Amino acid sequence: QSEKELQDVVKQQEEKMLKLIDKSGEVTMLKEEVSQLKRSLQRAETEAKVLWEEMRDKEPKVDTAHVQDRVWLRQEVDKLRLLLLEKRDEKRLLYDK
């Protein structure tokens, strides 16, 4: 009977280890995804700055306030999207615990 109990404990520990490995892999994957999203956001912000400078230099007739608002709104959308993903990841991690 002791041997059976020991086998059950070992089996439970193996299952726990497999779950932890799965969660660790998920966390690593999510961290990489967040990192990629941050890089994409930085790239988009840079592109917006360049676009803004080009439009300011070439098209003095353009409604610069409108363009600036659109660029700002786009940046805010990207930031909110990133925040949503981070919160979703946190929620998933809490749920897994």
Amino acid symbol at 89: D
Q: What band does 59 get if pLDDT is binned at 50, 70 and 90?
A: low
pTM over 0.75: no
pLDDT at 56 over 80: no
pLDDT score for 62: 62
Q: Structural domain tally of the chain?
A: 2
Instruction: Assess contact for 95 and 29: CB atoms under 8 A.
Output: no
Residues 46 and 71 in one domain: no
Is pLDDT above 80 for 69? no
Summary mean pLDDT of the chain: 81
Are the C-beta atoms of residues 82 and 38 closer than 8 Å to each other?
yes
Are 55 and 76 contained in the same domain? no
* Same-domain status, 67 and 54: no
Contacts of 35 (CB under 8 A, 6+ apart): none
Helix axes 2-58, 64-96, angle to 10 degrees: 180
**pLDDT of 81 strictly over 80:** yes
